[in-house]
Amino acid sequence: MKKFIALSLALLLALACFAACSKTEGNEPAPEAGKKLVILEEPLTAEPYGFATKLGNDSLIQAINEATQELVADGTVKALFDKYNAPYTAPAAPEATQAKEATDDSLQKVKDAGKLVIATSPDFPPFEELQDDGTVVGIEIDVLNKICEKLGVELEIQQMDFDSVLPGVQAGKFDLGVSGITATEERKENALFTDPYCMSAIAIVVPEGSDIKGKDDLSGKTISCQSGTTADTFCRANGYTVSSFQANSDAQMALTSGKVDAWVIDDLTAKEMVDAYNAGV
């Protein structure tokens, strides 16, 4: 009987130890798990969005600029933003430039092919998003379809990581780069950009209850972002500690798992992704 009791006690003790050992530090929930995400009111910086093509494709850019200006002026672009429940900030009117006739054949090549081939990274809602059936939808896709109607061609979409979009355009593999691209001075050295069709801003996203209240609080913190973006470039240029990822979803996960302190991303995409995440918390 004593042996039975002793064995029973030993078994209970072993089970207790097993239960305690199973709660290892590695299995504990991340510090930010279960917390909602908050977009700070103060943006990191503001920027215009446009489309990019290979240097020298002047006639193609001129045609796209003319079509885009018409779509902005007649309210079509704003209506497309409304379709995705996204706020629209119109760009300033393009500066007047001396009119000149483009002599290159980039526009004619597109018309002869009957299609405008764009490169995009479809992980940037509401601008580009990959559906379960493999189709790409979003504001910029809708805008480009409208532009293609004016040019009399079809839209062809090639998908890739964001940091492959501009190199592919610069190499002439695609007619246009379309991925919420900001025309920075550095990028203009290697690509030709359209006039902007909307204004955006880089937002700061943090977990609810974070001690980060604005960009002045980012010093000494670790920030996640998508590699190759202006958010990535801006943060590195300003001396922030950065963890960059191929996809925005991975940058978001770095924040929700507690691996970084903040996540920076363009504001409209931030709203869409944060709303979707918070709905499941």
Same domain? 72 vs 191: yes
Higher local confidence (pLDDT), 6 or 57: 57
Enumerate residues 6+ apart whose C-beta is below 8 A from 182.
Answer: 47, 48, 49, 50, 200, 230
**What is residue 251's predicted lDDT score, i.e. its pLDDT?**
97
Same domain? 79 vs 189: yes
Q: Which of 199, 215, 250 is the last residue of a domain?
A: 199
Same domain? 78 vs 111: yes
**What is residue 24's predicted lDDT score, i.e. its pLDDT?**
38
Same domain? 135 vs 260: no
Same domain? 134 vs 193: yes
Asked if residue 229 is part of any domain, the answer here is yes
Asked if residue 120 is part of any domain, the answer here is yes
Cis peptide before 126 (omega within 30 of 0): yes
pLDDT at residue 97 tops 80: no
pLDDT at residue 6 tops 60: no
Same domain? 186 vs 213: no
Residue found under tokens 């609080």: 217
In tens, the pLDDT along 62-75 reads 999 999 999 999 99
Residue among 123, 126, 175 nearest 153 (CA): 175
Same domain? 90 vs 173: yes
Domain count of the fold of the chain: 2
Same domain? 64 vs 156: yes
**What is residue 89's predicted lDDT score, i.e. its pLDDT?**
87
**What is residue 54's predicted lDDT score, i.e. its pLDDT?**
96
Measured CA angle at 54 (ends 201, 72), to 5 deg: 45
Asked if residue 125 is part of any domain, the answer here is yes
Asked if residue 53 is part of any domain, the answer here is yes
Kindly report the average pLDDT of the chain as a whole number: 87
92 pLDDT band, cuts 50/70/90, is confident
- Token readout for 8 is 């029973």
- Percent of the chain at pLDDT exceeding 70: 85
Higher local confidence (pLDDT), 86 or 3: 86
**What is residue 38's predicted lDDT score, i.e. its pLDDT?**
97
In tens, the pLDDT along 229-276 reads 989 999 999 999 999 999 999 999 999 999 999 999 999 899 999 999
Predicted TM-score (pTM) of this structure:
0.73
Asked if residue 76 is part of any domain, the answer here is yes
Same domain? 143 vs 169: yes
Asked if residue 24 is part of any domain, the answer here is no
Asked if residue 10 is part of any domain, the answer here is no
Average pLDDT over residues 153-158: 98
Same domain? 94 vs 232: no
Which structural domain range is residue 272 located in? 32-44+201-279
Asked if residue 22 is part of any domain, the answer here is no
Average pLDDT over residues 183-211: 92
Q: Which of 178, 199, 220 is the last residue of a domain?
A: 199
pLDDT at residue 124 tops 50: yes
pLDDT at residue 16 tops 60: no
95 pLDDT band, cuts 50/70/90, is low
pLDDT at residue 205 tops 50: yes
Question: Which CATH number do you get for residue 71?
Answer: 3.40.190.10
Same domain? 83 vs 154: yes
**What is residue 99's predicted lDDT score, i.e. its pLDDT?**
44
Asked if 198 and 79 count as a contact pair (C-beta separation under 8 A), the reply is: no
Supply the angle between the helices 76-83 and 58-73 in degrees, to the nearest 10: 70
**What is residue 170's predicted lDDT score, i.e. its pLDDT?**
96
Within 10 angstroms of residue 32's Cβ, the number of other Cβ atoms is 21
- Percent of the chain at pLDDT exceeding 90: 73
Same domain? 126 vs 208: no
- Cα atoms in the 13 Å half-sphere on the side-chain side of 106: 23
**What is residue 26's predicted lDDT score, i.e. its pLDDT?**
44
pLDDT at residue 61 tops 50: yes
**What is residue 94's predicted lDDT score, i.e. its pLDDT?**
67
100 pLDDT band, cuts 50/70/90, is low
**What is residue 7's predicted lDDT score, i.e. its pLDDT?**
43
pLDDT at residue 3 tops 50: no
**What is residue 91's predicted lDDT score, i.e. its pLDDT?**
85
